[in-house]
Structure 1
Amino acid sequence: MRLVVVGSSILDVAARPTSRVEGDTSNEGEVRLGAGGAGRNVAENLARLGCRVTLVTDLADDFAGRFLLENIRGLGIEVRLSARARTGVYLALLKPDGALDRGFCGTGTEAISPFAVLGALPDLQDFHGAVIDANLSETAVAALAERCRRLKVPYAVESVAHERARRALPAIPGCVLIKPDRAEARTLTGLPCDTPAEAAACARRLRSMGAGTAIVSLGADGFHVEHPEFSSHIPALPARVVDVTGAGDALFAVAFAAILKGLPPRLAAEAGRRAAALTVACPTAVSPAITPELLDPAGLNPTTDGGRP
């Protein structure tokens, strides 16, 4: 299966305290650098599933850009570049248990014009599916979604960070999948999204806006899947949390690949759930344990709490 991902690649910097945190001073902790960005994370997950992936992304000729380019090419992912002045950086401040305390993202991907994006984009008709990362400008997102719809290429939209989530709005009608977290779902639907019942309402609203499948994530509290053939709250799998960075990208990427492969939504959700659990248990944004076996229907035996078949 050949897929194209259009979105961000950024340098991840994660800091996790190893002792009590004191204000106004330096604290002991673990700090790591890694390859990240919603688009890049999704592309790596898809590549680890055995897909042939092309990533259209923006990198500068600086330390972070060279680090990321080497990482992406080392994964066997084809890269189409849109040059920029400075490569983006994401700083994640983690709690001692690995959960996110707060994050800061300087990407600048939204500054890339739709003309630059479309110019770097290969012929969409050569692909079985596309992923649109809402780190792009709303204009670029709209242009990409329109091209996918016109060429009848199935696409999924990754809504990232609640303030940027609204950029995904033009891509919702006709998308195969959208997977916001609770903050992004509030932005996209205007509804509250703090409980499983509220997540279900948000997912139904996204379906009414034109999404084929809507998955609304509540983090450690699981996620709700809404599809004409399946509607259920899916609890998160137990996991020893090391770092939550990238878990949502894994859920999104694996569920999308499963849908394109023809798996029913119940099994696609289970595959995504397992991918998220693998990701939170590792220190990198994408788990090396993501493999094509995740999409094997024979190995998927989901446990839900009342989904209709």
Structure 2
Amino acid sequence: MTQREREIYEIIRDMPMIEQSEIAQKLNITRSSVAVHITNLQKKGYILGRGYLLKEQDYIIGIGAANVDIHGMSKKSIILRDSNPGNMNSSAGGVTRNVSENLARLGAPVRLITALGDDIYADQIRNECTAAGIDFSHSMVVEKHPSSTYISILDESGDMFVAMSDMSVLQRMNMEFLKSKSGIISGAKYITCDAGLPEEVLEGILDVYGSQTPVFIDPVSCTYAEKLKPIIGKVDTLKPNRMEMEVISGMKIQSETDLERASDVLLEKGLKHIYVSLGADGCFYMNRDGVKIKRALKPLDQMVNATGGGDAFMAAVLYARLFDFNVDETVDFALAAGVAAISYKGTINPNMSVNLIEKVLEERK
């Protein structure tokens, strides 16, 4: 699907009875061009017959963490063992939940399976997911258990100073529960999850579903990354940072050559795609076909909150895969999504959209 076809598809999805002339006016193109693009969408199977009946959409399913994020950003340099004046905010978070919300805001159909407690945080997570357009109906609730929570302290520049999480409720998820959801999981086009899941669940997802459905994984942290070492060959797409990459590959990375060698080690084990987050230096991508890309966008003058950048990046990679972007387009799109995320004070930028990402890309490439 081309970019223009995608724009027309999304308009038709929202307004199935719209006239071609109205689409042309919205996109500032001719009606005849719209007709050609619609014909192409019909040939490709995205539009079925007359009346713009869309085929049942492919969807992405997230399996992993959902929690409440509490962020505090210091107004001045942080003084340890003292009370530091700052600004506080809270919102629903969790890596897989954040990826899912970004996907929903981009317009991709997404469903989430997570574990919640039975407290007020669970209500906040549920309400924010529903409001964002995430299908939340397949998650599990653990009675008399707190929901996952995450607290981060950001320095005066918006970068993380220290963080702590309690994700113990996620450890209650097991393969028996997931097998009860096998219909919804097997029907997904892609699965995205995080390494905060129990080891037996990560392995089970890859063994039961991974051979048919590509699985995308975010290691989350160096501690969780350890879980991926024995199963990395079953993963389709991995998005680590440099430190997590060192843990999974078992190699010290001090140069770009080291990074390529470490990527080779994982790709030789069966991993198909790897996107290594390099902070201000952008991203390094490599795949099993030997394609290598290292790219960065122009940095923001002021980063507002670094917490959600990686989650937006992963969501953009999944969106790009869903809509058949090529590798170069995917890397650019994902980098721009990350910039769009860190320009907002919360974990999720509520303005996240394809248009916003394209605008960022125009300004920063």
TM normalised by structure 2 equals 0.76
1:171 Cα deviation from its structure 2 partner: 4.8
TM superposition shift of 1:192: 1.6
Offset, 1:127 = 1.6
Q: Tell me what 2:224 maps to.
A: 164
Residue ranges of structure 1 left out of the alignment (5+ in a row): 304-309
What one-letter code is carried by the residue in structure 2 that aligns with 1:14? H
Deviation at 1:226, TM superposition (A): 0.4
Residues 254-300 of structure 1 show CA distances to partners (whole Å, capped at 9, x for unaligned) of: 1122123221111111110000001111112122232134788xx88
- Report the Cα offset of residue 47 of structure 1: 0.8
1:110 aligns with 2:165: no
CA RMSD of aligned residues (A): 2.2
What letter corresponds to residue 248 of structure 2 in structure 1? L
The answer on whether the counterparts of 2:78 and 2:155 sit within 8 Å (CA) in structure 1 is no
Matched, 1:238 2:238: no
Residue aligned with 1:149, SS: coil
1:188 is aligned, of 248, 254, 269, to 248
Counterparts of 1:183 and 1:86 in 2: how far apart (Å)? 30
Q: Which has the higher helix share?
A: 2
Corresponding residue of 1:7: 64
What SS does the corresponding residue of 2:233 show, helix, strand or coil? coil
* Structure with max Cα Rg: 2
Structure 2 distance, partners of 1:62, 1:203, is 42
User: Measured at CA, do residues 135 and 30 of structure 1 come closer, stay the same or move farther in structure 2, by a change above 3 Å?
Assistant: same
Question: Which has the bigger relative contact order, CA under 8 A and spacing at least 6?
Answer: 1
**Residues 168 and 121 of structure 1, relative CA distance in 2, 3 Å threshold:** farther
Out of 118, 123, 129, the position equivalent to 1:66 is: 123
For 1:57 and 1:125, locate their aligned partners in 2 and report how far apart those are by CA, in whole Å: 16
CA distance in 1, matches of 2:218, 2:141: 22
Q: 2:140 aligns with which of 60, 77, 82?
A: 82
Question: Separation in 1 of the partners of 2:284 and 2:201?
Answer: 28
- Does 1:217 find its partner at 2:274? no
Contact in 1 for aligned 2:298/2:364 (Cα 8 Å): no
Aligned to 2:202: 141
User: Does residue 1:22 correspond to 2:79, yes or no?
Assistant: yes
Matches of 2:110 and 2:187, distance apart in 1: 12
Aligned-partner SS, 1:184: helix
**Amino acid paired to 1:167:** K
CA distance in 2, matches of 1:301, 1:208: 37
Correspondence for 2:330: 268
CA separation in 1, counterparts of 2:253 and 2:152? 23
Counterpart code for 1:103: A
CA contact (8 A) 1:279 1:286 kept: yes
Name whichever structure is richer in strand by fraction.
1
- Tell whether the 8 Å contact from 2:195 to 2:225 is kept in structure 1 after alignment: yes
Whether the 8 Å CA contact 1:179–1:215 is kept in 2: the answer is yes
**What letter matches 2:313 in structure 1?**
L
Q: Give the TM-score normalised by the residue count of structure 1.
A: 0.89
Amino acid at match of 1:260: L
Identity %: 22
2:192 matched to which residue of 1?
131
- Shift of the alpha carbon at 1:170? 5.1
Moved more, 179-188 or 124-133: 124-133
Moved more, 81-90 or 8-17: 81-90
Residue 301 of structure 1: how far off its partner (Å) = 11
Aligned equivalent of 1:178: 238
SS class of match (1:16): strand
Deviation at 1:100, TM superposition (A): 0.8
Q: Report if the CA contact (8 A) 2:305-2:345 is conserved.
A: yes
Question: How far does residue 302 in structure 1 lie from its aligned partner after superposition?
Answer: 9.3
CA distance in 2, matches of 1:180, 1:138: 17
1:39 aligns with 2:101: no
Residue 198 (structure 1) shift: 3.0
What is the CA distance between 1:9 and its match in structure 2?
A: 0.3
Change in 2 beyond 3 A, CA 1:127/1:164:
same
Shift of the 278–119 alpha-carbon distance from structure 1 to 2, 3 Å rule, reads same
In 2 relative to 1, CA 86–214 (structure 1 residues): closer, same or farther, beyond 3 Å? same
Q: Distance in 1 between matches of 2:231 and 2:202?
A: 7
1:250 aligns with 312
Contact 2:148 2:166 in 1 (8 A): yes
Contact 2:299 2:364 in 1 (8 A): no
Contact 2:76 2:155 survives alignment (8 Å): no
Per the TM alignment, residue 194 of structure 1 is displaced from its structure 2 partner at its CA by 4.5
* 8 Å CA contact retained: 1:199, 1:217: no
Over 3 Å counting, the alpha-carbon distance change for 1:171 and 1:247 in structure 2 is farther
1:173: Cα distance to partner?
2.2
- The answer as to whether partners of 2:246 and 2:252 remain within 8 angstroms in 1 is yes
Aligned match of 2:347: 285
For residues 281 and 238 of structure 1, the distance between their equivalents in structure 2, rounded to whole angstroms, comes to: 10
Distance (whole Å) between structure 1 residues aligned to residue 182 and residue 122 of structure 2? 19
